[in-house]
Structure 1
């Protein structure tokens, strides 16, 4: 018996957060660490409403060829894992530089992606330890909003498919 798959569009569901720090060695944030606050240096910043485009944020494997004399077919084995080139493109704000200040060159932190939204216990949270490599405006003479692109270096093994912490009891 086939179950019904509930498909969805990422826009309006997926959340992209930036955290300066995560206390746990596992790089999985607590509910308190995921909660936005007024101090951008200590709390999560929800960037979802400013993001216009997402690139990368995945792991890739570079297979190693293992040919042998016994066959004309060239086999392979899994090789090293590496992170894809990753970036976020943001809308520019005419009145403030909040995101530009938060994500200036060489800033370190964590990009946290809640793929299915903030659903406690869902194993759909990916955490990427990052360092900002560059931030550059996108210039255009066309009729489109002003944007800038932030490129990130993934500095350590990302934590994929982590469970989203339960909401605080209240």
Structure 2
């Protein structure tokens, strides 16, 4: 008997689908309420680039004198340095008024859209900088950098609207 194949994915294009929310307050990162999500600010309309926003797990070797093989066990969980890059506004009325250095809150990623029953990732963060991206032949941008302050809640069910 052959092994059962993995479910076939319904592939999608991220642009126009993914939602990114800045929520200043979330009582329980493992179960944000619809009112907490709605009280946030949708960022995807001004987001031009993103970096990080993923967790990784380290390993710890567990050698034993009785074997030349060194097995490993799961170790620390870390999050990559993360950022969102936004379009700058010539009048200064842009992300700089929303995400200021040392602001704390949550970045919520709804990769498949804000769809009840789908999943989201909730990252507790502190804004660490608002770097102005200066390039000769590109539109002006502001890169907001974030410190992820505790383990993100991943694959959390999106509540009903």
> How many correspondences in the alignment?
157
1:138 to 133, 139, 142: 133
1:4-153 correspondence runs (5 A)? 4-22=8-26, 24-35=27-38, 43-122=39-118, 124-142=119-137, 144-153=138-147
Give the RMSD, CA atoms, in angstroms.
1.7
Deviation (angstroms), 1:96: 3.7
Deviation (angstroms), 1:34: 1.7
Deviation (angstroms), 1:93: 1.4
Say whether the 8 Å CA contact 2:29–2:122 is kept in structure 1: no
Answer with 77-86 or 26-35: which moved more: 26-35
Task: Deviation per CA, 1:114-150: give whole Å up to 9, x if none.
Answer: 010011111x2110110011111111112x2111211
SS where residue 33 of structure 1 aligns? helix
Task: Deviation per CA, 1:11-42: give whole Å up to 9, x if none.
Answer: 110011101111x334532112222xxxxxxx
TM-score (norm 1): 0.85
Q: 1:104 to 1:26 in 2, by over 3 A?
A: closer
Distance 1:141 1:26 in 2: 40
Say whether the 8 Å CA contact 1:28–1:127 is kept in structure 2: no
SS where residue 135 of structure 1 aligns? strand
Structure 2 residues without counterparts, runs of 5 or longer: none
Q: Tell me the residue number matched to 2:154.
A: 160
